[in-house]
Every structure is written in structure tokens, then in C-alpha cells.
Amino acid sequence: MSLARAETRRLFRRRFTSVILISVLLILAATAVGSFFSTEKVGETQIAAAKAEAEANYQEAVKTVAADKQRCLTENPGNAAACDWPDPSPSDYDYTWYMPETFNLRAEYPTMITLLAVVLAGAAFLIGASFVGSEWNSGGMMNLLLWRPRRLQVLGTKLAVLLGWFTGLTLLLGALWTGIFTFIATSRGTTEKMTGGVWQSFGLTGLRGLALVVVAGAVGFAMASLGRHTGMALGALVGLGALQIGVYIMAQLAGAKYPEAWLAPMWAYAWMFKEFEVFDYNSCNFSADSGCEPDKFVLTWQVTGVSLAVVTVLIVGASLWAMRRRDIT
């Protein structure tokens, strides 16, 4: 039996893998079902109802203001100016605010792509860490190296099998995800303004999501291999979260301009949505046209992409180096 085929069997025979993948499918199914039943297609009936509700609220506001003015005049005779506040305007009650929730494929699907990527990235991290960490912990890695005494080939094949299957799973679920939400938009929302450029943008967002899944799987795998235990990867994840909170608090106390830029989730956001803007509201750039504008820092997907690549290469490289140099005990 080839090493790749043996690793594939090990990957999918693990109960933890099955539990995580089933959980992923349940989360995605719940999201799709919730999106379907929480939205509806907007037609003439819904528009008429929204306009009627907006008009009713406007008339109610007019009556309320008139009553308040009369009460004010009664309580303050001879001081009419104090009670002369403006009447409500119809523009204050835009009927679009009263429209039912509908699914706009062009506007909302990028968020759904990101949700899919984040869920799969979490699954890849956990399964990757468990895939190699449990074998180190149980002594299975020693037995495997007795059968195939090539350290880097064994570890590299395990990593390649993990990332290969998650790449295929991400592409498959991505295609199904697109079909599901296209159906939801067609039946319960709108597909207006969908052009070839929009679909291309969706595809590029999906590719960035795929890269996020691959990076998460590789980092989880490499961290568990470095520590020779699944808990190493999970502990590193918890430690990163605690460190992020500490850095954010210290940056605020130190008066740093953009403390949010130190948070890893913001980097992931910038990667998926192309950029993330951070503002320093303690600053003021005054102009006659726009008034006081705060300083702004833009975190771009190019910067975050290079950072993710460097971190991944360093961690995976360290795990391969440790596999080559350390004793197998």
C-alpha cells in the first residue's frame, strides 16, 4: 500500500475527523436554512405594505409633535418661540426602512463565502493538529517510521494528504454553497446587477478563502508536530488569543494610534474583504468640506497575504527541521 493511501485511510478512519466534518456540515446547513426562512422575495405587495407602514408612522409622528407643541404652549404661555420646533418630514420615514429582509446575492454573498472559509479553516486547524498530534502522543509515529524510515517523506506526505483533501473539500463545498445561495437569492431575494465581473470577484474571494483554509490546516499540523501533541496546537491558539488581548490593552494604554491593527482577526478580515480600515479618533484633519476627519490606516490584503505566507513557511519549516533533527522517542 502506498504511503499516501495509508495516510488517507488514517485521516478518515479517525472518529475526531468524522465529528468535526459532521459539525461543519450541520453549521453550514443551519446557516443556509436560516437564510432561506428569514428572507423573502420583495414584490409590489411588500412595497405597498412598507409604504403604508411608513406613512402610518409619519402621521403618528405628526400627531405626536402637534400634541407636544400644544402642551408646551399651555405650559409656557407667551413663549411661543420655545415651542416652535420643526415638524416631522416624510423623508424621515423612508419606506425602504420598513421593507422585509431579502437576500441580495451581489451584496451579501461575499460574507457567506467568508463564513464558509472561517468554518472550514477552523476544521482544518483542529483536524490537522489531531491528525499528527495523536500519532506522536500514542507512539504511532514511531511504528510508522519503522515501516517507512524516511522522516521528511512521512511527515510531508501526511501534510500533503491533509491539505489535498481539504482543498478538494473546500472546492466542493464552495460550489455547493454558491448553488445554494444562488437559489436562495432567486427564490427569496434578488440577483440584480450580477455581472461577469461580480462572479469573478466572488471567485477571487473564494480563492482567498481556500488559502485561509490551507494555511490553518498547515499551521495546526505543524504546531502539533513541533510539540508532538495535539494540545501544543490548541495551547498555542489559546495563547495567541490571550496575547492578542494583552497587546491590544497595552497598545491602548500606551496611546498607540491604531491598536485594532494588532489583532489577528482584523488581518483575516483584511485578507478576505481586501482591506480593513482603522481610525484614530483622537486625531483631527480639518477641512472646510468634510470637517474634522480622523487619521486612517488601511490594512490591505497584499500585506496580510505576505504575512500569512511568511508565518506559515516559518512554522512548517520549523516542524520539518525538528522532524529531521530530533530523536524519535
Mean pLDDT is lowest, of 162-166, 310-314, 317-321, for: 317-321
Environment class of 137 (CB within 10 Å of its CB; exposed 0-12, middle 13-18, buried 19+): middle
**Given this model, what pLDDT does residue 183 score?**
96
**Given this model, what pLDDT does residue 132 score?**
86
CA 19 → CA 30, 218, 223, 252, distances in Å? 16, 20, 21, 40
Confidence band for 280, pLDDT divided at 50, 70 and 90: confident
For residue range 54-102, list pLDDT tens digits in order.
889 988 988 888 888 888 878 777 677 777 778 888 888 888 888 888 8
Q: Which residue has the higher pLDDT, 119 or 141?
A: 119
Confidence band for 279, pLDDT divided at 50, 70 and 90: confident
3-state secondary structure of 54: helix
For residue range 182-206, list pLDDT tens digits in order.
999 999 989 988 999 999 999 999 9
For residue range 102-135, list pLDDT tens digits in order.
899 999 999 999 999 999 999 999 999 998 887 7
The whole-model pTM stands at: 0.85
Mean of the per-residue pLDDT values of the chain: 87
CA dist., res. 187 & res. 5, Å (int): 43
Q: What are the cell numbers at 292?
A: 474634522
Q: What are the cell numbers at 192?
A: 440584480
Using CA atoms of 40, 41, 47, 53 in order, give the dihedral in degrees to the nearest 10.
0
- pLDDT (average), residues 294-317: 92
Whether the predicted pLDDT of 137 surpasses 70: no
In 3D space, the residue among 215, 61, 29, 47 whose CA is nearest the CA of residue 124 turns out to be: 215
Helix, strand, coil % (nearest 5) of the chain? 75, 10, 15
Confidence band for 31, pLDDT divided at 50, 70 and 90: very high
Whether the predicted pLDDT of 167 surpasses 60: yes
**Given this model, what pLDDT does residue 143 score?**
61
Longest pairwise C-alpha distance within the chain = 101
Could you tell me whether strands 103-104 and 189-190 are parallel, antiparallel, or unpaired per DSSP bridges?
parallel
For residue range 11-22, list pLDDT tens digits in order.
888 899 999 999
**Given this model, what pLDDT does residue 217 score?**
95
CA 173 → CA 80, 81, 119, 177, 283, distances in Å? 67, 65, 11, 6, 45
For residue range 216-251, list pLDDT tens digits in order.
999 999 999 888 788 888 888 888 888 888 888 888
